[in-house]
Each structure stands twice: as C-alpha cells, then as structure tokens.
Amino acid sequence: MIQEDSPGHLSVTWSNVDLGDYYVAFVKSDDGLEVHCNTSLTQCNFLSECGFTYFISVFAYNKAGQSPLGDIFNYTTAPCCPSDINPVLVSSDRVEIVWSPVRGAELYETKAVDGYNVVECNDTAPACTLSALDPEIKNVSRDAFSMINVHWRATNDDATYTVTAQGEKGLYQCSSVGESCTMGGLPCGSVFSVTAVAETQAGRSLPSYSVPLETGITFCYLAQGTVIYFSYIPRRKEMMQP
C-alpha cells in the first residue's frame, strides 16, 4: 500500500513473506531519480515532492539471494501550488491573473470571493480573467412551440444580458435583465453556437463559454404556426413475372 501520511512524506507498506530476512524498497520518480530503503520490517518512508509520479518495487532477501521482481506500483502526488501570482486590474470590473506553470498541473481553478459572491474560472492555461459581469449559460432548451429558452447564472443585478445564437443560417438574439430569455424564428435543421454577454455602465463582459444548439428537422413551423409533418412510406417493388 502506498499513501501520503502528510504532504512530502510517502509511506510504502507490503505483506511479510516466508523465509525473507530483510527487504529493499526502490522508489523511482519520473525524472529518473531513484532512492531505496533497507529494512527487516514491512514498511519504508520516503520524502516526496509535489507533481511527481513515483514507481515503487520491493524485493525480499535471505541468504539464498534476491526474490523475483513483483508488481511495480505507481503513485502520483498532488500538483504544486502556483506561487508567483500576478493580478492586474484591466478595467473597473475585470481582473487578469497570470502565474507560471507548475509541475503536475492539468487544470487551474481560480476564485475571487467578496464574502457573499464567488467569481471563478477553470482553464488549462496559467492565466485567468475574472469579471463580476461574466455570465454562465446553465441550460438551452426548446419548447413545444419551437421557441428557444436560454437560462444563465447572473452575476450582477444591474446588468443587461444578451444571448446570441450564431450559425450558418444567421444570427439570432434575445435580451433580459433577469436570468433567462426566449428567442424564436430559428430555422430547422441548423446548428448554432449560443453565447451570453452582460453589460452595465461600467462596460461589457467577455462572452460566456459557448453552448451548441441543433434545431433538428423532425418538424418545422410555418409563419401561421402550422406544423408540417414529414413521413416516408416505402413501396415494395413488384416482382416481374417471367
């Protein structure tokens, strides 16, 4: 078993084997550095660092020699923490934060808390722009009347939110001061990218992450609201008599 009792301290334990006088545990990090531990017990402790993957193997020894190689286990420690964080105020409602990449990180999460509200962003890049205006689309759906309903997470009570659905067949918009709006008239059988922006007297937010929307071709509505249904009935080909 491999575990970190505390950050920076790796503990390796194994089962006792018959006729084993002592054990040697090898720990090799993915940068090539290898250390080992000799013990008559069934546990060794090693120092570890953040953001590394360690490969562990254990051999048993007695007067006859060394045991065969068993399973090789691996353990990955948590990524290192960014330290050189540099926030820059780029506008009255927007802060850009950059830092150096750290070992072992696959994703960075940045949060700003003012006591009640939380503004955050997640990205694989070592940079993030936080804004009190940035909206987040929560849901895009279509009702029985072919109207598109968009719901988002509002981050500013004084903002006006504009939703844009853009595709090859045009651009469609709706606006609201709340947390949802409805747009109609989108053509059937089309694919759109839906984004939202917020705007106050202080400025305009960056677009939200886009959400795909496909209107489909199951049915279409005429301007009068009539539904046209499409169906296909295959005909059986008659056999020719000789």
Dist CA 240 CA 209 (whole Å): 60
pLDDT of residue 134: 72
Give the total residue count for the chain: 242
Predicted pLDDT of residue 234: 42
pTM for the full predicted model: 0.55
List the one residue out of 100, 97, 90, 125 whose CA is nearest residue 111: 97
- HSE-CB at 135 with a 13 A cutoff on CA atoms is 34
d(CA 194, CA 166): 7
pLDDT for 168 equals 87
Q: Which of 204, 214, 215 is nearest to 175 (CA)?
A: 204
**Helical H segments across 79-220, by residue range:** none
Tell the residue number behind the tokens 């659905």, with chain if given: 165
Say how far apart CA 209 and CA 197 lie, in whole Å. Answer: 10
pLDDT tens-digit map of 17-63: 999 999 999 999 999 999 999 999 999 999 999 999 999 999 999 99
Per-residue pLDDT reduced to its tens digit, 74-95:
999 999 999 889 888 877 667 8
> What's residue 92's pLDDT?
64
What type of residue is 229? Answer: Y
Domains of the chain and CATH, by start: 2-76 (2.60.40.10), 86-131 (no CATH), 136-228 (2.60.40.10)
Q: In the chain, which stretches have pLDDT less than 70?
A: 92-93, 114-117, 132, 144-145, 216-242
Q: CA–CA separation, 188 vs 144, rounded Å?
A: 14
Q: In what order do the strands lie in the sheet with 148-153?
A: 136-142, 148-153, 180-183
